[in-house]
Amino acid sequence: MSIDIKAVTKDYNGFSALKAVDIHIQNGELLALLGPSGCGKTTLLRIISGLLEPSSGEIWFDGVDVTKWETQKRQTAMVFQNYALFPHMSVEENVGYGLKIKRMPKADIQKRIDEVLEMVELSGMNDRSIQSLSGGQKQRAALARALITEPKILLFDEPLSNLDEKLRVAMRQEIRRIQQRIGITSIYVTHDQREAMAIADKIAVMNHGEILQYDRPETVYHTPSNAFTADFMGHVNILQLSHLSPATAFYRKLMQAHAFSGKSHLLLPPNEILLTDASTAADITNTIFATVSSRELLGNVVRYRLSLGETVLYADCLYRVSLSLYELGQTVAIDFSPNGIHLF
Ligand SMILES: Nc1ncnc2c1ncn2[C@@H]1O[C@H](COP(=O)(O)OP(=O)(O)OP(=O)(O)O)[C@@H](O)[C@H]1O
């Protein structure tokens, strides 16, 4: 089912939580709604599910205006961070609850329970109490309970925030696998940019109730359209063009490669920067010199903090046992390919 969010706003007593949000999600796509705490992610999810009315704007499913439809009719299902499971019930009772209240025949319910438990790899856990499950198993049970009613749309509200890092990575792959297998249109709220990139067909970056960029994960990551997105996607080396000093070799090199007009920032990822020993530089006038002001070992990469006068840049070098590291205070020469720069 496709979703169209058309100029949706939400005001809470004069506070504007959503400001004219427009998004189109194709049938079967998973959209990650990515943004910091308080940016309006949950508000938007609740409006899509029908739990909350927008102040203005419309929600369309498959070309039909559902803005006035009540929650049940919309056939969405939510998966929450805190699982929202009934603690005193067994796995089976929790998962089958949605069908029981629809008064479906017992035998049919049992069949569906077993099907969805298999789908989330909880087969045979029917009679276990919810309290006895691990965090990951609870989230699987919550997902099974959402899937059993055969919703047309799945809405995930930070589903993995309560799990430790390793389990989060495993569970997000699991959610993606199940989502693709069923081909269900999904919206996945998260404030973790790695989770969004790993799981989504499209990412919508939100801040202060506005969608700042909406595109494929690789596009949002490699070519952010604004400084907030660049920063939120985890980038360093986001430089404001007006803060660069024109009388430097660095600036000349940037100018040769790119037209600055209409742009305010540049992004030069640390892995695009090549460092060499300054003493080997042949063309002194055009060499970009920098001083190592700190360094950090990040697993197989060494991240150097470099000072180029007022400008600070980070450069990543692959760590090899056979290579010696640059020392603090050492002068190095930096180079980069013009293609490695993104201006916005
Ligand atoms: N019922 C309400 N009355 C007034 N303000 C509200 C209400 N619900 C939400 N807000 C405000 O609207 C803004 C968006 O809230 P929302 O819960 O959608 O954010 P979020 O992005 O989901 O945040 P988080 O990641 O912390 O859950 C916040 O500033 C919040 O304080």
Atom number in ligand 1 closest to CA 209:
14
Mutate to test the pocket of ligand 1, among 16, 41, 82, 157 (most ligand atoms within 8 A of CB): 41
**Does 255 score more than 90 pLDDT?**
no
Q: What is the pLDDT of residue 145?
A: 93
Tokens of 256: 């040769």
Kindly give the interhelix angle for 106-119 and 135-147, rounded to the nearest 10 degrees. Answer: 130
Residue with CA nearest ligand 1 atom 25: 37
Confidence band, pLDDT 50/70/90 cuts, at residue 162: confident
Question: Whole-angstrom distance between the N-terminal and C-terminal Cα of the chain?
Answer: 34
Is 261 close to ligand 1, i.e. is its CB under 6 Å away? no
Cα of 186 vs centre of ligand 1, distance in Å, is 21
Secondary structure of the chain in HEC code, one letter for each residue: CCEEEEEEEEEECCEEEEEEEEEEECCCCEEEEECCCCCCHHHHHHHHHCCCCCCEEEEEECCEECCCCCHHHHCEEEEECCCCCCCCCEHHHHHHHHHHCCCCCHHHHHHHHHHHHHHCCCCCCCCCEHHHCCHHHHHHHHHHHHHCCCCCEEEEECCCCCCCHHHHHHHHHHHHHHHHHHCCEEEEEECCHHHHHHHCCEEEEEECCEEEEEECHHHHHHCCCCHHHHHHCCCCCEEEHHHCCCCCHHHHHHHHHCCCCCCCEEECCHHHEEEEEHHHCCCCCCCEEEEEEEEEEECCEEEEEEEECCEEEEEEEECCCCCCCCCCCCEEEEEECHHHCEEC
Tokens of 257: 């490669």
CB 19 within 8 A of CB 54: no
Question: In this predicted model, what pLDDT tens digit does every residue of 183-241 receive, in sequence order?
Answer: 999 999 999 999 999 999 999 999 999 999 999 999 999 999 999 999 999 999 999 99
Closest CA to 31 of 217, 228, 224: 217
Strands ordered across the beta sheet of 342-343: 238-240, 265-267, 342-343
Residue with CA nearest ligand 1 atom 3: 12
Strands 185-190 and 30-34, how do they pair?
Answer: parallel
Amino acid at site 300? N
How far is 99 from 325, CA to CA, in rounded Å? 63
Confidence band, pLDDT 50/70/90 cuts, at residue 146: very high
Q: What is the largest CA-CA distance in the chain?
A: 83
Is 39 close to ligand 1, i.e. is its CB under 6 Å away? yes
Confidence band, pLDDT 50/70/90 cuts, at residue 82: confident
Q: What is the pLDDT of residue 260?
A: 81
234 vs 163 pLDDT, higher one: 234
Question: In this predicted model, what pLDDT tens digit does every residue of 17-35 receive, in sequence order?
Answer: 999 999 999 999 999 999 9
**Does 257 score more than 80 pLDDT?**
no
Is 12 close to ligand 1, i.e. is its CB under 6 Å away? yes
Cβ count near 31 (within 10 Å): 23
Q: What is the pLDDT of residue 36?
A: 96
Confidence band, pLDDT 50/70/90 cuts, at residue 163: confident
Residue with CA nearest ligand 1 atom 20: 38
Confidence band, pLDDT 50/70/90 cuts, at residue 323: confident
**Does 102 score more than 80 pLDDT?**
yes
Average pLDDT, rounded, for the chain: 94
**Does 258 score more than 80 pLDDT?**
no
* Burial class of 144 by CB neighbour count within 10 A (0 to 12, 13 to 18, 19+): buried
* Burial class of 303 by CB neighbour count within 10 A (0 to 12, 13 to 18, 19+): middle
